[in-house]
A and B are shown apart, each in its own frame.
Chain A
């Protein structure tokens, strides 16, 4: 039997009221504005071979399908790829999940992978192979896919003021989303990214941070000095495009 003889003083915590402020993102800038010069090669080249340390690359090729559903299989996905066929999202791939059924009418289609490298491998059997991006064989129903075009994307350092935004329309492709909100000085500090896929965020043209739905951490701190009294501009680069139309501010960090 166990007994506690002398009780310690009790501490009472008061919870903070949660008030979320919503921001609608109604404008979009197309991703092709941040394309760099394409590199063409028979096989997909790793980021290392493209001389890219980190960031986003679009890999694309033309496919010819015979059936309504064909299995796409990649040898290496480092670290995250969103798969598009003719501009429609088919799903996403990681190095732990490298197969995906491609659903399209038989015929010619444009297959695109938007790829992001999350970080270097620092341990484990792959440690000496620090290649990033997509490389090795890529097959569709067992047939090798060749003749790839690799287009590096400048995302994090792209001058946002040069992007051309338009009123948002229904469109699957990755892109930059823009919205505005009034800051009411109520001390909101965290951008709640819940529901968004993967990407990066800027506030008033200043880089704010990155997010990924697979992480437990789902919020990005907004330093109070970065919030302007009055109108603030938010830009989100979204790779996967979960069709989110709005986002909210939270007074506390958000974790899954």
Chain B
């Protein structure tokens, strides 16, 4: 006897919940399917609990490796696996349609009833609903054996986020609802609701299936309910056909409320079908949630309910290391939607995958706009009919399954597609024809097609629209480049790499994956004597990423002609080399780098913006700011008060002023006035310019103000400034005196110095200089007169862009450069721009910084040199670590 469990009967006796224990067997040799004896009813020999995946039960190949480019899956399994259950079909199901339903599986599911294969489905993005009506007998017990095959069923790109080992793993299992359904043979196969906001009505399209082969008569009764809202309607139905499409328009009255991000009003429509063939009566119900909203293509924006919206979005890559698969429950997705809202976002782009229903439900509830895609990427559009047919089925299935969700605003076929764009145009045009409730686009960031209604890209034919990094000035935008024939969304902006936080290793204890790459990285850091600095590298590069994201997002908000942006990404991407670019870790836990409150100052429906030329000034200069307000909220700001003020590092208000009171338009980026601040008498080096609209909308920018310095770097009897390491320098040292060596950057071997931390990650994009920011040893005395944090900020721009990175791997381990450059985490060598050491009995300070060119425009460099000068001429200058001359020679060009 097989595994037979007393099944729990659900409501109305029409569904049997099949979650629980199932028989199980692996089939890594892929032998069973073709070899199953038609006479022998095999009994599987192990068990597994469903919903679940093989990883949950440590089934598969116990992985001995430490993958560098991704999290390591502890137990890998790719192949057919067999799941089995003996089920007694209730006798009262006689005459009914019987379906076996899997909410999500991966990716081919085949159903064997007793010894016969009866159904096979290979959707990736939607549930598998197997029609078993002709193969099971009510009152009889059947052995249901399911083969789940997670091998790639078509030759598709292995990186797409529905399957990739880089994010959610390519799991084998069955997830979400697993049930056996019985319904009357006259039933509602499909229910689609098309809102018409002008008429305040909905068009309801039903597909009624009639398996009786007889004429049926009856009616469909509708109940529409929402908060303080209820409406009933019905239509008559007469048909002899096996399939009947019913369309009806239901006026909803003037009290019906629209759905949008600010007021996500939801309604539920329940359709009850009551029919009779004269002898038997049939009943079936189907319900769906909908929102009253329409989406249209505007000139530069997506129009929602005829109003331009601006998308502040995140690229959602199915990063779920806790479970190894995307969650199927509401709570997990609600957490993400609430985080999006808290951080000022209103949009998620599901990159090369489509999430399960729970994600849509929670986006409907919280007012998040989705862009969803098929599992399509790269060369997937190159000719291959079976692959093409898979995509042709998949797009239809996505539109049917999720089309009613108001959050489903944008559809795109996939990511960065190449190949035959006639095929891409075909899909896009078919989608537009099939379902006008969404806007369509052929591919992100590749060839445009005629049916595009919007375009997500790094560039248009008018230039780049992506923003990967900030600048020390803010008087720029992407308006000109975004102004093409369709709304343009900035693709994968951001992508600034943070040093990994090795504390995350322990978070994977109960996950199907673990961060073995982090172990490799931290071992290497330890070998190189810097493991104690790991946290500082993480904090310093993380702070840099936060200030880059502020600059990136503000640039994209200044771009009123852009339809929005998609940041890559709020959370870390644990594949493609491992890209810790997020302010959240892969578990969506904050890394502690920025608060939601601070983040939403520059990412929100209404943001105060300021255009200015630069961040570093001499105190003889004047700061000029041009204020703008980005407002894509639900209303104009009537008669708004706008004020600015300047604070010092202690928070004291140094200057303040107001701009003209005015009404600030909605759905626009509006200039609201200009102001000037004389920077005379500012002595704290760093000051903050604040801008506030009506006290509630606030934003601020740090600027740096320095005195002009002349006669810098003057040698004295005790201190020799030199740009060459020569006999004069050696004699000076031998006398126990001080040498400041400032070789011209072109005389220093080593890497280019860069303000920005590495793009995405240095393992995938192994391009120079492979550094991820700088750690400043800011408490040391050489910085006494140069205000800086442990991380680099915009005042460092002119310093870092004129410096060279010294390779210090062979310096004594105790030697730590005071301006320390953070190396790629798979290399972890010691790097620096400035350091001090004992040499030949003297004191040496080395600074690989250009001090000759354009100094009149480099106030921060002047101030740093001034601070260092005071230091080397003081008692405090006392290097502790001795180096030998070969090290100095090692980084100087001969």
What 0/1 pattern do residues 368 to 390 of B give for CB contact below 8 A with A?
00000000011100000000000
Contact residues in A for B244 (Cβ distance below 8 Å): 2-3, 5
Q: Is A6 an interface residue (CB 8 A)?
A: yes
Interface locus among A29-37, A79-87, A163-171, A206-214: A206-214
What 0/1 pattern do residues 1 to 14 of A give for CB contact below 8 A with B?
11111111000000
Q: Is A128 an interface residue (CB 8 A)?
A: yes
Contact residues in B for A223 (Cβ distance below 8 Å): 483
Contact residues in A for B159 (Cβ distance below 8 Å): 123
B203 → A minimal CB distance (Å): 7
B765, A128: Cβ atoms closer than 8 Å:
yes
| Residue of A123, A190, A207 touching B480 (CB-CB under 8 A) | A207
| Residue of B241, B460, B765 touching A130 (CB-CB under 8 A) | B765
Q: Is A119 an interface residue (CB 8 A)?
A: yes
What 0/1 pattern do residues 113 to 140 of A give for CB contact below 8 A with B?
0000001001110011010000000000
B248, A255: Cβ atoms closer than 8 Å:
no
From 90 to 132 in chain A, residues with beta carbon under 8 angstroms from any chain B beta carbon are: 119, 122-124, 127-128, 130
With most chain B CB atoms within 10 A of its CB, the pick from A2, A5, A221 is: A5
Contact residues in B for A4 (Cβ distance below 8 Å): 245, 247
| Residue of A6, A128, A219, A220 touching B766 (CB-CB under 8 A) | A128
Contact residues in B for A123 (Cβ distance below 8 Å): 157, 159, 377-378, 416
| Residue of A130, A209, A216 touching B767 (CB-CB under 8 A) | A130
A18 → B minimal CB distance (Å): 15
Query: Known contacts A3-B239, A221-B484: does B203 contact A8 (CB below 8 Å)?
Result: yes
B246, A217: Cβ atoms closer than 8 Å:
no
A216, B421: Cβ atoms closer than 8 Å:
yes
Q: Is B504 an interface residue (CB 8 A)?
A: no
B448, A217: Cβ atoms closer than 8 Å:
yes
Contact residues in B for A221 (Cβ distance below 8 Å): 462, 483-485
B766, A5: Cβ atoms closer than 8 Å:
no
What 0/1 pattern do residues 197 to 241 of A give for CB contact below 8 A with B?
000000000011111000111011101000000000000000000
Contact residues in B for A215 (Cβ distance below 8 Å): 447-448, 461
What 0/1 pattern do residues 402 to 419 of B give for CB contact below 8 A with A?
000000000000001000
Q: Is B32 an interface residue (CB 8 A)?
A: no
Report how far A63 CA is from B251 CA in the complex, Å.
78
B245, A5: Cβ atoms closer than 8 Å:
yes
Secondary structure class of chain A's binding surface, majority of residues: loop
- Minimum CB distance partner of A193 in chain B: B461
With most chain B CB atoms within 10 A of its CB, the pick from A119, A124, A216 is: A216
B447, A216: Cβ atoms closer than 8 Å:
yes
Q: Is A159 an interface residue (CB 8 A)?
A: no
Contact residues in B for A210 (Cβ distance below 8 Å): 461-463
What 0/1 pattern do residues 221 to 256 of B give for CB contact below 8 A with A?
000000000000001010101111111100000000
Q: Is A253 an interface residue (CB 8 A)?
A: yes
Query: Known contacts A215-B448, A217-B461: does B483 contact A6 (CB below 8 Å)?
Result: no
- Minimum CB distance partner of A4 in chain B: B245
A217, B447: Cβ atoms closer than 8 Å:
yes
Contact residues in B for A184 (Cβ distance below 8 Å): none
Report how far A199 CA is from B201 CA in the complex, Å.
50
Q: Is A243 an interface residue (CB 8 A)?
A: no
B173 → A minimal CB distance (Å): 28
Q: Is B449 an interface residue (CB 8 A)?
A: yes
What 0/1 pattern do residues 476 to 501 of B give for CB contact below 8 A with A?
00001001110000000000000000
Contact residues in A for B247 (Cβ distance below 8 Å): 4-8
Q: Is A64 an interface residue (CB 8 A)?
A: no
Contact residues in A for B425 (Cβ distance below 8 Å): 216
Q: Is B450 an interface residue (CB 8 A)?
A: yes
B461, A5: Cβ atoms closer than 8 Å:
no
B576 → A minimal CB distance (Å): 8
Q: Is A48 an interface residue (CB 8 A)?
A: yes
Contact residues in B for A156 (Cβ distance below 8 Å): 463
A207, B459: Cβ atoms closer than 8 Å:
no
B589 → A minimal CB distance (Å): 28
Report how far A253 CA is from B448 CA in the complex, Å.
11
Report how far A217 CA is from B461 CA in the complex, Å.
9
B241, A2: Cβ atoms closer than 8 Å:
yes
Report how far A254 CA is from B235 CA in the complex, Å.
45
Query: Known contacts A127-B765, A215-B447, A221-B483: does B241 contact A209 (CB below 8 Å)?
Result: no
B826 → A minimal CB distance (Å): 12
A216, B766: Cβ atoms closer than 8 Å:
no
A218 → B minimal CB distance (Å): 10
**Given A123-B157, A215-B447, A220-B461: 6 more A-B contacts, CB < 8 Å:** A2-B243, A123-B159, A124-B379, A209-B484, A216-B421, A253-B450
B-to-A contact residues, CB < 8 Å: 157, 159, 203, 235, 237, 239, 241-248, 377-379, 416, 421, 425, 445, 447-450, 458-463, 480, 483-485, 764-767
A-to-B contact residues, CB < 8 Å: 1-8, 48, 119, 122-124, 127-128, 130, 156, 190, 207-211, 215-217, 219-221, 223, 253, 255
